[in-house]
């Protein structure tokens, strides 16, 4: 069946069309058969019954039969009674049984017809519901992940699912029925929840900015107790007037331990921040160099980096870093031999087997080596970051012919790294700028190193 505009009719339109055809057919059979049998048996006026049932406002089946005189019908003969049926968009329902007897023992045919229609529509709706549920199960299996519902979606499902009653277990497919009922209980409890408007007894909490200040003082000063933190806060905020107990409550809410425990639990970040002025780190990195015979030779480069200023000192370059070579490097960096490493008190390095003889000589010179645990490159992050920088910006772009070229490339890069390159870790500034950085007038010119591999732009002297 197609509509006038060529579209496919909806379910409601198909129902209305079926009811209209049923009404026309029933009317035709009534006039033909009832006029022949009922007039001769009981003298019943068919035109009167037709006028009572088909004209005027629509009435219920009970009122129609009540207005008609009782008659004894032949139950063996086919009989159809016609009444105007409305075009409903919802299933029809007739309470009670399909066959209802009158005082004379007759059957109400209108109720029987409506019951047949209701049964057909209910069967169609059940088939559609079964298809939709199976389609939902297939879609859920294809998703393969747990559905994430918002609170509004949960409450909507809970409100509609609570009406199903015993049918809930066979209908719900997204969640378990117990979960849906729990959502409904939470929805009901939310209706009567007045905690937002409740006034709690006791002293109100301190202002958020005062609480942030207490937390800041506690994190930045591990040795400060409750009294000292309260005195410091009252000094910068006289209107706060907090006590040591208030400080204790704030720290307890944020899971910050008291001062004795905070002192014992020092982190690497705090240790490095405290000892930056006298703390150095060292590490090796390798570079492949072509020899005179065209073979690739692996060279080991040892460097030292100052954590506070990012100053890098080249320790040595060798293809074989044996014990004797490491002892020579240790003698060169001890106080009195190289002013670049003056002030070193602590030296961080990994657990390489090359370092034991090196550490023995450092301890004799008053330098404390700090050996890192295995598989922890993040604890030597400054040195590891420099290795990546020198390779990405310089060595990976060069074909090195001999040790001399390697040393020249490292020397040029170290000069660029100290005097021409900005460092994000120290506020995007140049660690050791020269006079070119201070120029504010003149044309912008470029200074090149290694044939334009390392560039620096500055103002030209007037």
pLDDT in tens, the chain (462 residues): 445 444 555 665 666 666 566 555 555 444 444 444 444 444 444 344 343 434 344 444 444 444 444 433 333 333 333 334 334 333 444 444 444 444 445 567 777 777 777 777 777 777 777 777 777 777 777 777 777 778 788 778 777 777 777 777 766 667 777 887 888 888 888 888 777 776 666 677 788 899 999 999 998 888 899 999 999 999 988 888 888 999 999 999 888 888 888 877 777 777 777 777 888 999 999 999 998 888 999 999 999 999 888 999 999 999 999 999 998 888 887 765 555 777 788 899 998 888 988 888 888 888 889 899 888 878 888 999 999 999 999 999 999 999 999 999 999 999 999 999 999 888 888 999 888 888 888 889 999 999 999 999 988 876
Element (H or E) spanning 301, and its range?
strand 296-306
pLDDT value at position 186?
Answer: 84
Give me the DSSP letters along 330-381.
Answer: HHHHSTTT-GGGTT--EEEE---TTHHHHHHHHHHTT-EEEEPPTT-GGGGH
Q: What is the pLDDT of residue 8?
A: 52
Shortest CA distance to 82 belongs to which of 72, 96, 68?
Answer: 68
Residue 202 confidence (pLDDT): 66
Cα–Cα distance for residue pair 265/127, rounded to 1 Å = 68
C-alpha 148/C-alpha 154 separation (Å) is 10
| Cα distance between residue 380 and residue 270, in whole Å | 14
pLDDT of residue 23: 57
Among 403, 402, 405, which residue's Cα sits nearest to residue 394? 405
Q: 30: buried, middle or exposed (CB in 10 Å: 19+, 13-18, 0-12)? A: buried
The per-residue pLDDT for 187 is 81
Given this model, what pLDDT does residue 173 score?
64
Is the full-model pTM beyond 0.85?
Answer: no
Report, in this order, helix, strand and coil percent for the chain, each rounded to 5: 50, 10, 35
pLDDT score at 336: 59
- Per the DSSP assignment, residues forming a β-bridge with 101 are 107
Distance CA(410)–CA(190), nearest Å, equals 69
Say whether 299 sits in a helix, a strand or coil. strand
Tokens, residue 440: 């504010």
CA distances from 281 to 209, 308, 385, 393 (A): 39, 11, 12, 21
- Can you tell me the distance from the alpha carbon of 390 to that of 305, in angstroms, rounded to the nearest whole number? 13
Query: Closest Cα to residue 220, out of 282, 157, 269?
Result: 269
């Amino acid at each position: 069946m197609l509509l006038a505009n060529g579209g496919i009719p909806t379910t409601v339109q198909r129902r209305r069309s079926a009811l209209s055809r049923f009404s026309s057919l029933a009317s035709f059979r009534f006039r033909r058969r009832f006029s022949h049998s009922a007039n001769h048996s009981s003298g019943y006026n068919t035109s009167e019954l037709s006028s009572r049932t088909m004209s005027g406002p629509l009435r219920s089946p009970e009122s129609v039969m009540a207005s008609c005189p009782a008659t004894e019908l032949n139950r063996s003969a086919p009989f159809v009674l016609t009444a105007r049926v409305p075009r409903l968009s919802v299933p029809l329902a007739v309470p009670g049984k399909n066959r209802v007897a009158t005082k004379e023992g007759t059957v109400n045919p209108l109720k029987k017809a409506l019951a047949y229609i209701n049964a057909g529509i209910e069967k169609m709706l059940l088939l559609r519901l079964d298809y939709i549920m199976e389609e939902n199960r297939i879609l859920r299996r294809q998703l393969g992940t747990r559905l994430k519902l918002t609170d509004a979606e949960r409450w909507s499902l809970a409100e509609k699912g609570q009406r199903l009653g015993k049918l809930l277990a066979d209908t719900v497919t997204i969640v378990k029925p117990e979960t849906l009922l729990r959502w409904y209980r939470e929805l009901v409890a939310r209706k009567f929840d007045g905690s937002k408007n409740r006034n709690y007894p006791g002293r109100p909490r301190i202002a958020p900015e005062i609480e942030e200040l207490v937390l800041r003082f506690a994190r930045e000063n591990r040795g400060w107790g409750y009294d000292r933190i309260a005195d410091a806060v009252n000094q910068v905020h006289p209107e706060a007037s907090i006590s040591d107990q208030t400080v204790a409550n704030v720290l307890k809410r944020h899971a910050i331990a008291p001062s004795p425990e905070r002192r014992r639990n020092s982190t690497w970040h705090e240790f490095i921040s405290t000892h930056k002025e006298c703390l150095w780190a060292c590490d090796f990195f390798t570079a492949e160099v072509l020899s005179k015979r065209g073979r690739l030779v692996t060279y080991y480069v040892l460097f030292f980096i100052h954590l506070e200023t990012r100053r890098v000192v080249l320790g040595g370059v060798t293809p074989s870093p044996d014990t004797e070579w490491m002892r020579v490097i240790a003698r060169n960096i001890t106080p009195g031999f190289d002013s670049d490493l003056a002030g070193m008190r602590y030296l961080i390095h990994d657990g390489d087997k090359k370092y034991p003889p090196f550490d023995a000589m450092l301890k004799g010179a008053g330098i404390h080596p700090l050996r890192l645990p295995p598989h922890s490159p993040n604890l030597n992050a400054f040195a590891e970051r420099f290795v990546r920088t020198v390779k990405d910006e310089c060595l990976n772009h060069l074909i090195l012919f001999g040790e001399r070229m390697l040393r020249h490339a490292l020397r040029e890069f170290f000069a660029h790294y100290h005097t021409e390159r900005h460092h994000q870790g120290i506020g995007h500034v140049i660690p050791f700028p020269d006079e070119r950085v201070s120029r504010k007038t003149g044309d912008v010119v470029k200074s090149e190193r290694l044939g334009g591999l390392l560039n620096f732009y500055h103002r030209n002297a007037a």
